[in-house]
Structure 1
Amino acid sequence: MTHSLSRRLFGLGGMAGALVVTTNAASAADDTAKAPTQSEGQPKERTFCYVGGYTKHGPPGGNGDGITVFEMDRKTGGLTSLMTFTDIASPSYIVLSPDRRFLYAVSEIDDFDATHSGSVTAFSINHSTGALTKLNTVASGGANPAHLSVHPSGRYVFVANYTGGTVGVLHVLADGSLGRMTELVHNSGPRMPDRAADNPPGNFAISDHSSAHPHMVKSDPSGKYVLVMDAGLDRVYVWNINSNTGKLTPAAVPFTPMTPGSAPRHFEFGADGKKLYLLCEQDSKVVVADFDPKTGKISPQQSVSSLTAHFHGSTLAAGILLSPDEHFLYVSNRLGDSLAVFQVAQDGSLTLVDEIWTHADYGRALMFDPSGSYLYVANQRSDSITSFRVDKTTGKISFTWDFTPIGSPTCFEFLTLPAA
């Protein structure tokens, strides 16, 4: 969220309904020529990148058109625009289903229906072209949803409604479309300070602590628990989920308090589900915690800044990403426009080893390509995606000098499919 004008303030705008194809025959031929050859007898593959962001029907200044489908050149990391699905408002977060057949997107709006809800849209994916086909759209259960995820079983979609202060669970039907809401919970708690006591020096940015603001919802790797980062109440909630009914019940320890004013935003789990990395946006800290898979208890062990000691000024941490081998962790810092690189020790503790300029403004989501060779950053205010080569030995990243233009990007998903 911004430090002076909340991204949750929305104007009214129209929702254009079309699939805009932008690739011509010549560029398509060029892409085919650039595609890496496969071993004889192996099918050729194509890697698609789906990018969502803010449209005019959303926060002030949203420049996006919808969900854009790019094709990635796996030799260079370059992204070529193929088409844009425009019949959606401000798809600020998107996610693929576990079987990679469907894509789900929030619309970060507050006027989907008479209850001032946002919405969630389900898409099927054409595995020959990467194109999206809308299946249906349903209410999210609260205003301005900021995040969604899919249960490992694929049976439920979780959605965090930032302004609405609610978390919803949606049943997924056999065809991938969204059914009824099986659960809707509303967090509550005392008013927290707008700024954390351990803010970076000179930080004038503030996070909204006026009420509950769920910013992320996702299950642990086992699918037994559902965790919610509440940036308004400075808490990390843990629920048990009944996989048969989609109902939530509080875990033995229902929430873990974070530093007052720190605004917990996003998290990453280690693959075994025992290590948890919690990112707080207001004080730009990563909290390393142990997670008990038997009880769902969170036990913080370390807190480390995503900024080098020489940085002074306004900043808000945004995205967090664990490398596939779990040897490195990456964090994006908005306003400061930097990427932090941490080395992960055997016990899960972090050491900051590098900080690099994003070469753009207001970097948010981070995402690796499927090979882990490139790291991409969605730069909301620069209307661009920047990319970095990854040294898998040291974890350090180097700028490719490749800018991909796109209006107000905020999120990614990559999908590799056999070529038709």
Structure 2
Amino acid sequence: MANKEAIAYIGTYTKVESEGIYRLHIDKKTGEITQNKLAGKMDNPTYLKLTDDQKYLYSVAKDGENGGVAAFAIKEDGSLDYLNQEVQAGNPPCYVDASKDGAFVVSANYHLGTIVAYPTEKNGALKAPSSSVQHIGTGPNKERQEKAHAHFAGFTPDEKFVITCDLGTDYVTTYALNDGVLEKVSDLKVKGGSGPRNLVFHPNDKIAYIMTEMAADVVVAAYDEATGALTEIQSIASLPADFSGENKGSAIHISNDGRFLYVSNRGQDAVVTFAIDAAGKLSLAATTPVEGVGPRDFDLDPSGEILLVSNENTNNVTVFGVNKETGALTLLQKDIHVPEPVCVKFINE
């Protein structure tokens, strides 16, 4: 019997009101939040990653003047049991991913321009970093691209490689992770000044979709699983040609059936829906206001029935129903208070 509720963890900034990571229970039919409470305390857990077995959660961590990654065990009641953290001098990273078996965690650090790999213990705790790569370079936007700004580091679906997006250099780089050591194997240069921010793979594992922050374009790239190389096959705007306001592209997610791609824009304050054709290329389908300001992230629940948006600037999350045949979003709830929300991660059903 299908679950009537979806459960999500929300990563946040803790600059004002928030105390860490929150856990929401959502009625999938009505969008009503049936539980909304703090799951684990942490300073600035802005991005989260749950392991495939749902036993552990990794988060960005800030500890005084140090930054890194923290590990939590997920308890039966959904609360988080702090295990440990690995932090180094400097600002915390902005993205965290974990391998399917949980053996490695990787992070991307916007401020430092670094990619770091962490082995893990059998109990989910983090070990000291086994590898760190420093990105170097600039882009044509002198204000935002004055140096490297690594924004994404994630495992490929086959887990042969780690792919990174660097907003500062306009490069999407593929690394092999051999015995815990990151080794560069391929680069994709996207349009100068576009600022690649985030990436998601099609369920067929052959196509990657890259969201750019400054251009708010989506780059479609073919993935060569033998070499790890990405080859651009399309670039499509998520904003209308006559949009003149300030905007930052943010999150990107795909439906489980691979028929629809969704991205969020901060400034336009909308989720944009694309239809995906048989070749993996995109066509614009709809633009849906998020009923908030600053949609930093969103996620589709595992059933694909609801989409939850975190609106950082208005301290609210918005729940949409998803038409799985058309990809259309229907507003269910909009005035749900979560302090300083950034990241949305649903648990598996």
Specify the TM-score bucket, using the shorter chain as the normaliser.
over 0.9
Aligned in 2, Cα 1:82/1:395: closer, same or farther, shift over 3 Å? closer
Q: Secondary structure at the match of 1:179?
A: coil
Kept in 2: contact 1:158–1:168 (CA 8 A): yes
Tell me the residue number matched to 1:248.
Answer: 182
For residues 46 and 259 of structure 1, the distance between their equivalents in structure 2, rounded to whole angstroms, comes to 41
Q: Please list, as runs of the form range in 1=range in 2, the aligned pairs for 1:110-189 lying within 5 A after superposition.
A: 112=64, 116-127=65-76, 129-139=77-87, 143-189=91-137
How far off its partner does 1:365 sit? 0.8
Is 1:319 matched with 2:251?
yes
Kept in 1: contact 2:40–2:82 (CA 8 A): no
For residues 103 and 94 of structure 2, the distance between their equivalents in structure 1, rounded to whole angstroms, comes to 21
Kept in 2: contact 1:48–1:130 (CA 8 A): no
Tell me the residue number matched to 1:302.
Answer: 234
The structure 1 residue matched to 2:173, chosen from 237, 246, 251, is 237
Tell me the residue number matched to 1:101.
Answer: 55
How far off its partner does 1:247 sit? 1.1
Q: Secondary structure at the match of 1:287?
A: strand
The structure 2 residue matched to 1:210, chosen from 135, 139, 146, is 146
For residues 274 and 224 of structure 2, the distance between their equivalents in structure 1, rounded to whole angstroms, comes to 24
The structure 1 residue matched to 2:283, chosen from 351, 354, 371, is 351
**Larger of the two Rg values belongs to structure:** 1
How far off its partner does 1:140 sit? 5.5
Supply the AA of the counterpart residue of 1:229: C
How far off its partner does 1:371 sit? 1.4
For residues 269 and 232 of structure 2, the distance between their equivalents in structure 1, rounded to whole angstroms, comes to 27
How far off its partner does 1:48 sit? 2.5
Q: Please list, as runs of the form range in 1=range in 2, the aligned pairs for 1:356-367 lying within 5 A after superposition.
A: 356-367=288-299
Aligned in 2, Cα 1:343/1:140: closer, same or farther, shift over 3 Å? farther
For residues 378 and 306 of structure 1, the distance between their equivalents in structure 2, rounded to whole angstroms, comes to 19
Is 1:51 matched with 2:13?
no
Tell me the residue number matched to 2:327.
Answer: 395
Supply the AA of the counterpart residue of 1:49: A
What is the root-mean-square deviation in Å for CA atoms of aligned residues? Answer: 1.8
How far off its partner does 1:86 sit? 5.3
Q: Which segments of 5 or more consecutive residues in structure 1 lack a partner in the other structure?
A: 1-37, 57-61, 196-205
For residues 286 and 341 of structure 1, the distance between their equivalents in structure 2, rounded to whole angstroms, comes to 11
Q: Percent identity?
A: 32
Q: Secondary structure at the match of 2:308?
A: strand
The structure 1 residue matched to 2:45, chosen from 85, 91, 94, is 91
Supply the AA of the counterpart residue of 1:158: V
How far off its partner does 1:314 sit? 1.1
Q: Which segments of 5 or more consecutive residues in structure 2 lack a partner in the other structure?
A: none
Tell me the residue number matched to 1:219.
Answer: 155
Kept in 2: contact 1:220–1:226 (CA 8 A): yes
Kept in 1: contact 2:292–2:311 (CA 8 A): yes
Aligned in 2, Cα 1:412/1:140: closer, same or farther, shift over 3 Å? farther
Structure 1: which 4+ aligned runs deviate by more than 4 Å?
none
**What TM-score, normalized to structure 2?**
0.95
How far off its partner does 1:97 sit? 0.8
For residues 51 and 152 of structure 1, the distance between their equivalents in structure 2, rounded to whole angstroms, comes to 21
How far off its partner does 1:259 sit? 1.3
Supply the AA of the counterpart residue of 1:222: D
For residues 232 and 162 of structure 2, the distance between their equivalents in structure 1, rounded to whole angstroms, comes to 18
How far off its partner does 1:369 sit? 1.6
Kept in 2: contact 1:378–1:384 (CA 8 A): yes
How far off its partner does 1:415 sit? 1.9
For residues 366 and 151 of structure 1, the distance between their equivalents in structure 2, rounded to whole angstroms, comes to 21
For residues 128 and 342 of structure 2, the distance between their equivalents in structure 1, rounded to whole angstroms, comes to 28
For residues 216 and 17 of structure 2, the distance between their equivalents in structure 1, rounded to whole angstroms, comes to 27
How far off its partner does 1:78 sit? 2.0
Aligned in 2, Cα 1:141/1:342: closer, same or farther, shift over 3 Å? farther
Number of positions where the alignment pairs a residue of Structure 1 with one of Structure 2: 349
For residues 361 and 217 of structure 1, the distance between their equivalents in structure 2, rounded to whole angstroms, comes to 26
How far off its partner does 1:249 sit? 1.2
The more displaced of 73-82 and 323-332 is 73-82
How far off its partner does 1:333 sit? 0.4
After superposition, the C-alpha distances for 1:266-300 in whole angstroms (9 at most, x for unaligned) are 01111232101011110110001101000111110
Kept in 2: contact 1:48–1:69 (CA 8 A): yes
Aligned in 2, Cα 1:267/1:324: closer, same or farther, shift over 3 Å? same
Kept in 1: contact 2:316–2:334 (CA 8 A): no
For residues 233 and 74 of structure 2, the distance between their equivalents in structure 1, rounded to whole angstroms, comes to 41
For residues 315 and 140 of structure 1, the distance between their equivalents in structure 2, rounded to whole angstroms, comes to 32
After superposition, the C-alpha distances for 1:326-382 in whole angstroms (9 at most, x for unaligned) are 100001000111111100000011000111111110001110122111111100001
For residues 346 and 356 of structure 1, the distance between their equivalents in structure 2, rounded to whole angstroms, comes to 24
